[in-house]
Structure 1
């Protein structure tokens, strides 16, 4: 089950059912089954507090993914997304807010599937996967 929540902001997610089905298809295509994934939309301030408290990182980020999976090949987790960062990144990369939101939504799922973006090589693969799946949404 995929759920969308908001913490300290108000946001209306467009095409919720289509987004959920798309994310379920990404999970299946990567060879996993869906357990429970919660997306929590929040502000920069809210996500910064989480970043400091849980990861000891004192900087803004667009997404933090907590993997709650206990079984192999079962995707479960909590994905926190800063809507402030998504909006800023959309302006920076000159894409729509909706496009950037899709990128971040699938980015969290890819983390839960075992993809990382710490090295240049990992980041290159992550971007490739993001772009591939965004193209499938459209």
Structure 2
């Protein structure tokens, strides 16, 4: 099940369409859905989590907590709407496109994709683009 939670002044436009898109990506990656919780929040909210749980005193667009067991995808994905808005402007893309990228990014982490090295980042970006094109 995919759940959407709002800790910011924000609401998704089409939760059902997004859920189907996420479920399709999980299936294509060879996994099954457990529970994924998206929490849309502010910079301040996510910064506190970043400091408390990851010891990173920086702003970020997404933090994911992966509870996947075997092939059952489970986890919490925190997304700063403030960062997504700013990044969309910085990258010259539509807010919706940047939001889709970040949303699928968290799911791809749960599917085992990393982005710490240049090679890992290249693969992650290609996967993001692939799934964004299918939305």
TM over 0.5: yes
Alignment correspondent of 1:3: 3
Deviations, residues 75-124 of structure 1 (Å, cap 9, x unaligned) = 00000000000000100111111110000000000000010100000000
Task: Give 1:12 shift.
Answer: 1.7
1:49 matches 2:48: yes
Alignment correspondent of 2:16: 17
Give structure 2 stretches of 5+ with no counterpart: none
**TM-score scaled to structure 2, two decimals?**
0.98
Task: Provide runs of 4+ in structure 1 moved above 3 Å.
Answer: none
Task: Give 1:13 shift.
Answer: 0.4
Matches within 5 A, 1:103-114: 103-114=101-112
Tell me the distance in 1 between the aligned counterparts of 2:76 and 2:128: 19
Task: Give 1:62 shift.
Answer: 0.2
Matches within 5 A, 1:28-39: 28-39=27-38
